[in-house]
Amino acid sequence: TEELLRKTEKLHVAGQLAAGIAHEIRNPLTALKGFVKLMCHASEESKMRYYHIMQEEFNRIELILGELLILAKPQAVAYMPHDPFLILEEVIQLLNTEAIMNNVEIILCGDSTLPTVNCERNQIKQVFVNVIKNAIEAMPLGGILTITSLKQGNDVILTFVDQGQGISEDRLPRIGEPFYTTKEKGTGLGMMVSFTIIEEHHGCISYQSKLGVGTSVNIQLPASEQ
């Protein structure tokens, strides 16, 4: 019965998520339909303006679907041993331009000889991207993001400490809720996706934060058996 309960729970979550996705995509779609109608009789000048808005709405749909697609597993799920430090280095390289443009310095320190982690590489990469992006976005005036890695027992622990605006205590539990965002152009999907991925990897992710001081994100992943 416990299994059944878990399945029912999962279905419930899936239903809520589906409703959320439908809602989030219907909004830009409704806008697009409206503008297509307007386009027929619009002056050249208005057309250019509408064209611009429509492009933004298409981008929004693309962004939402892009974030969700990472949850759809690749055809053959291949959990393979990977070095999390190498994945981190790759992600930092990927996001470094964005960091520099925002006056954010990313420092990677700690154990570079970590044990491997059994994982779907692209998914773990996506988690790191999501967490690091959030840290950059939390520091609009710039700052330092310190990433530390260490081995603890049979686990690998990765910590991301930013000097951003922080999260108030009452908002902390809402992180990871589908579509929970405090950003004007946020989707509120990044952490929901990341929490799901870490859970599927039998890991743990937790937040600690202080308003005006910064946030620390802790990711714990089991090391693969040697």
Binding site for ligand ADP (CB under 6 A): 130, 134-135, 138, 162, 164-165, 167, 175, 180-183, 186-192, 215
Query: Distance between alpha carbon 35 and the CA centroid of its chain, in Å?
Result: 31
Tokens 């320190």 sit on residue? 109
In this complex, which beta carbon is closest to ligand ADP, that of residue 103 or of residue 182? Answer: 182
Least Å distance, CB 33 to Mg ion, is 28
CA-closest candidate to residue 189, choices 198, 200, 180:
180
Stretch that binds Mg ion, among 4-12, 57-65, 73-81, 128-136 (CB under 5 A): 128-136
Which range binds Mg ion by CB under 5 A, 31-39, 83-91, 131-139, 211-219?
131-139
Q: Candidates 123, 126, 134, 146: give the one binding Mg ion (CB under 5 A).
A: 134
Binding string, residues 179-198; x marks residues near Mg ion by CB under 5 A: -----------x--------
Phi, psi of 73 (to 5 degrees): -70, 150
Q: Identify which of residues 143 and 203 has a Cβ nearer to ligand ADP in the complex.
A: 143
What the block records as the tokens of 176 is 């990871």
Residue 8's Cβ-side half-sphere holds a number of Cα atoms within 13 Å equal to: 5
Query: What residue 20 binds from Mg ion, ligand ADP, none (CB within 5 to 8 A, per partner kind)?
Result: none
Q: Tokens 């679907």 map to which residue?
A: 65
CA–CA separation, 46 and 35 (whole Å): 10
Return the closest-CA partner of residue 160 out of 208, 210, 193. 208
Provide the binding-site residues for Mg ion, judged by CB under 5 A. 134, 190
